Structure 1
């Protein structure tokens, strides 16, 4: 799913994590403790769960608290502060990774038969097809997308044109996804011909084919705060939104609207709905497939290409001081602040405006850019640099505010990050330009103020239509009540789906445990059969007693000698049995073997076998290894009259 946004509406209040809480403790106090815990997790580890639904979130945290025996939110926060590894266990409990290949087969069939052909029909020539799987978990979903497009357009064309971005906040799930190796159970719903075509078997595991695997790019991404991937033809985010509250869902949908190109498709989970309908049109409500409306679409940004012969187009190998000086002078006289960052993230140049506005000195040239305050204030640009260089495109941030510490006045900048490459496409570094747009922002603010004044005047003119407005408000109120009821029903549906996924996750854990127990039981049966075979193969009569001196084992030779079957004597006290051996006479060597933990005997005692014949019987006792107080008795006939 696939971590730092402002706190949102709390949603349903969490129940107390323990039954022993004082009855008089207010629910509001418990809510406050949960919120404090969430803020602590966000500040300590960068995982922002404040946008998640409180009911399911509280339930998952309480499950982890119960597992480790912690009774209150406060105590659990103390546990997190003292045990850094507990964060990993908590995140694995909260982030439910329930997925499979082509999950919800009917929806995937519609996607393959109706949506993918439309995407291919609108893609021009050799244009790249961009897909994003948000909340990819352990990778089954993006690999399903790769298979679907390879089946629709052919493997080679898919390798040439399709790029799939797969993101999640769970690092452990991403590690498994990057490996692309799955067991037989994970592929049980995949048709055999697809499995043979797209997976390579290695023992009991199957690895996704390597050439198509390289078209899937995995990365950690939080859909609630990180910049979205842009210019998408298809965005798949299934059974992820239902964990967030309504306000967080709206913010996520705003990001998805920005990410999709004109006419791009959005594929949601079966229990998820859009929080607003003005930005997306319904393609198929049953299968939860939507399309971005054209009036909200933004055209694709043209790819950034280096200009041959420009200052950043070629790397000259000769020592040409005058050209280098000219190039540095051109940067220095730029009318706005410009910084040059090399491939290793080192600041190599800064224009005069940059030195003046941001206080960059000569001593800063050659330092890692991440060590400078400018790398994270007034805006975090390190991640933007990484995105721009990875995607080889220019990224622009508009209206970034910078407040002066001395005068408390604000300046506004448009920040433009552009990758610098050679003519052959080799990455050299990046340039960062801070273009002062304060006048434009102030003008926009003034326009906004004038607009607000006009709106106030318009509201005053509308006072003559109060009757009509009253009727309209009543109708609107009724509509809002219906919308509220609809949202409550949708919330209940999402909660049920969340609970279902939790149950499915628990069921998979139980199935795994059951398989392990079945294997262990088979091993025990095999060991027991082997031991019985060994005892039966020994020609001497052997009896095994436990620490209470009851019979645990009575082999076939003992049955033949004394005439008692094993099922007749098992769990019976040995010295209470009545057969041809005078057991009282061997009590001493049995007790000595048990107490001294040494082998005793042999001693010879007279006995009578099952046929009534007198014989001499040599008795040897050995302590039973691994069971305190147990003993093994070996009985060998030595004389027959």
Structure 2
């Protein structure tokens, strides 16, 4: 601001000198005036040179001021840059601190995850060991089952063979049963055709066959005496007297005949001819006794 005022005053002084120079030229010349005018002109020229130098100095001063302003601006920019850098550094430090904290938290989380994974891995190892043990047990069981299956297959084959044999035996038994039934029917027809009553006894003297003539003679049905001891019958025949003959037939005596007094189912006294014969199987083994009972004549009824 002071530099601008100084320049204005110099310009104003130059204008006054020009005006003064014009006035002097307009005055009549004299040697003194000429000398004064010459000195004024020289002074004016010198002042003009001084003004030029002063202008150069002012220009240089202005340039220096501009340079100072630029330097000040640069210093301000530098300070701003330093502040910006400091802010960036501080922000970077804060960001780095935050990242460090996040990294530390991440490391801790990873450590926890690693411990959890180790525990999980241990659990999986334990489960794997249990599975291996279970697989081994299953394999052992499978081998045992396979061996048992083979045994069962062999037994099944044996059972099939046994079943086939049983089927053949059953068929033979059926044929034999048919033959026995036929033989029993034939024997029954024979025993029915005989004139007297017949009792077939086994080795224990239990009644096996009791024909219709015996039913008619003594009044007991076949189903009543079937399987009963013959010597315990409560009939009109004195069966106790036949104990010895029957025992003799079982021991090998082939034939015994005896006539006993008896009472038939009608209460009439009769003479009963009793014949005891051993029951042979293929003429070798004695299987029982055949007792033939025949009525000989009638007597007066007992009162």
Q: Structure 2 length normalisation: TM-score?
A: 0.43
Higher RCO structure (Cα 8 Å, ≥6 apart): 2
Higher share in strand: 1
Higher share in helix: 2
Q: Structure 1 length normalisation: TM-score?
A: 0.22
- Structure with greater Cα Rg: 2
